[in-house]
A and B are shown apart, each in its own frame.
Chain A
Amino acid sequence: MIDTVLFVNQWAILVYFLILNTFYAALLVAASRYQRWKLRAGWHQDLQRLLGSRIAPTLSVLAPAYNEQATVSQSVRALLTLQYPNLEVVVINDGSSDDTLDLLTKDFSLEPANAIHTRRLESATVRSIYRSRTFPDLKVVDKENGGKADSLNAGLDIAAGDLVCAIDADTLIEPDALLKMVQPFLLRDDVIATGGTLRVVNGSEVRDGRVVTPRVSGKPLAGCQTVEYLRAFLFGRMGWNLLGGNLIISGAFGLFRREAVLEAGGYMHDSVGEDMELVVRMRRQAIDRDLPHQVISIPDPVAWTEVPESLRTLGRQRDRWHRGLSDVMWRFRGMAFRPRYGAVGTVVVPFFLLVELLGPVVEAVGLLGLGFALLLGAVNWQFALLFFLVAYGYGLLLNMFTLLLADLGERRYPRLADRLRLVMWMVVESLIYRPVTVIWRLKGIWGYLRGKKEWGVMTRRGFDVS
């Protein structure tokens, strides 16, 4: 009896992996088509022209800051030098207990301002609003502490741009990132949000807040995450552009139509996956009201982020990400398999539910079941080999194709050593790193079921250490 159960279970999981990897292959094909169109259209040549446009949409960058006295002035200066014609920078001091506000006041000659604003979103009390005498496009909102989502809501109320860009304090943004990110809004009427490709900064040469030479880290964890980010952003998100649009815009760097965010009610305070929650809510509400709802990812690497280099920190991060995903999937479970929501309801949400959320459960059951089945003789070594070929060999092939695709894009790694290192990490990521992340993702599901809400502490080394 047990033999039969194990036998059927293993075959079912094998078929699951086969379908899953074939779907990934479809995403990869879609991403390749998008990449090919992008290369042929060569939009990058129009960027400087957009810079001189009088009718480019106005844009506000929202930068929450909590106890950032060490880096706040440098970060704000970097934001003020971003290339965009109608740019406003809104820094939200989230009740910092250090000298963040004093430093900003001193370095940017802040004075109390008469910013006319609305209170459409829920946020902690705003103490005052300042404007810089030296940089008229800089506003600073001083508010009581309430967290990142709360700060972004306060910033959204005060921002005046047609578009708003939400960023993390520790994201390095390419100087022309906004010009690239704004393009989908100009080319299509139905876009409500765009996300760019995030790359891993660990190991790269960074000078004055800019990545001078992209490098691949020699450290296994950072190296594997470099590969993981390449895969996730290139075919994971770009592929969705042609298959129903995205559900995730990274909290580290995303551009939104402000009115669409305000209509949706802004960021939720009680979700650990607040960035994904907002995107899914915006899309659901827009579809319910028959309004535009496309969310587009662009292949250009627009920002760089530091990834954890210790197992402990990485585990905490993945645990939180998966708790966030579980929360969002539970909140929007009503969208799954509903033709009313078009491709989002019939393809995108079911994929996130069955693959992204429940994938680790299936993978764990598959691996443990395979061990038991082999021990009990329910399956033979031939089956075990087939299982690995379908689950991991196929996955590795797709990863390699991703690397080829990434190689055709912008800001590829110029040094031969880095490119070979990337190939090496690609193999390690597929065969060792991914199965290991199953543990953290399972922990995330368990944590969500137990009602765990905290973010956990993230330890960062900083960008100056390359």
Chain B
Amino acid sequence: MIDTGFLLTVFAAELALLTLILLLLVIRSILLALRGPGKRRRIREAEIDLITAIESDRPTSYPFAKLRRSDQVEVIFDLLPNLSGEPKTRLAAVATESGIADWALRWCYSRRWYMRLRGAEVLSVLGQTGPALILLEDDRPEVRMRAVEWASMLPDPAELEMLCLMLGDPDPGVRFTVMDCLLRIGGEVVEPLIRAIEGGTGPEVTAAAMRVASGIGDHRLAELAIRHCRDPRTGVRAAAAAACGSVGGQVAAETLVSLLDDPDQEVRREAVNSLGRMNSWASSPGVARLLGDPEWSVRRAAAVALDGFGPLGSLYLRRVARGDDGPASRVASQALGPPEYRVPT
């Protein structure tokens, strides 16, 4: 019924494939076992040589030049991120002289996305300038993310403008990286950020820019944050409320109090958080009202804010804790802590 020839063919094919994989595995294992330690040793020697050369002002680093290109890159990735100041500059110069930077620059224009990524990685670690602006518009999010990090290291005005606009990038990973990098850059991004918000670039950019503004807390952003607290879009209002808490000021506090009655729970929560952050104890009555909010996260934020207001906040908490409103009383009691810790009224 079953042709023996067919059976033997299947058997032979399986056996051949198995033998091939087995051979591959064994050969790879042997090669790794033989070459691995040697490669690691060479890299280690090159690293030690480079460090001592830099420390003793010795001009050449013989083992580094002898390494394969990929191993040289590995050495640079191992050492450079852990150095700063003069040693970092000198090591970057050694790497550049060895031709790594030229290679990396060529990789940035490769047709393969992972080569462009590698190029951007190497150049950013070396602290070199290059086609970051072009890579910021790359098709692949992986490359854009790396280009964002690269551009944020020593950003020129054009790159800063571009980074702020990328807050509306369609890829979540890129958006996260842009926000993270803008926060690391700090005060320098305020003006481009203002231009990005006022340029009418869409609610996503405005909301994300407001989140960055709340992390930077620069007074130049105050007027913009207050204005956007009245934005019709809830996401923007919530982010603007968070930004108000960072920039501070009487007008910001009054605006935040007006947001305590916002129909959106995220906006109410951000407003309470911001008032707490500003230590705006004068807003205690409004914040205490939110201890009875239907949304638990808002009640929690209100309790935390009141707890931070000091004696006046505690007074409100104790009053609500003794009250009949179950959820409000519970969250107030939790904020006051275990009974033995409570100050008697």
Contact = CB atoms under 8 A, between A and B. Distances in A.
Contacts of A386: 2, 7, 10
Most buried by B among A118, A120, A189, A420: A118
B200 interface: no
A279 interface: no
A187 B173 CA distance: 4
Contacts of A54: 180, 183, 215
Contacts of B334: 114-117
Given A189-B172, A423-B25, A118 B296 contact: yes
Interface in A110-167: 112-118, 120, 128
A1 interface: no
Nearest to B212: A55
Given A382-B7, A400-B22, A112 B149 contact: no
A338 interface: no
Interface string B171-201: 1110010011001000000000000000000
Contact of B25 (A40, A385, A419): A419
Interface in A281-295: none
A397 interface: yes
Contacts of B32: 414, 416, 419
Interface residues of B, number: 53
Nearest to A394: B14
B143 to A, nearest CB: 10
Contacts of B341: 112, 114
B13 to A, nearest CB: 9
Interface string B293-324: 00010001001100100000000000000000
B215 A55 contact: yes
Contacts of B145: 46
A118 B299 CA distance: 10
A116 B297 CA distance: 10
Interface residue range, chain A = 35 or more
B4 interface: yes
B11 A403 contact: no
Given A189-B172, A382-B1, A397-B14, A40 B114 contact: yes
Contacts of A186: 172-173, 176
A344 B216 CA distance: 43
B142 A41 contact: yes
B22 A116 contact: no
B340 interface: yes
A106 interface: no
A54 B217 CA distance: 14
Contacts of A382: 1-2, 4, 7
A162 to B, nearest CB: 12
B33 interface: yes
Interface of A: 40-42, 45-46, 48-49, 53-55, 112-118, 120, 128, 186-189, 380, 382-383, 385-386, 389, 393-394, 396-397, 400-401, 403-404, 407, 414-416, 419-420, 423
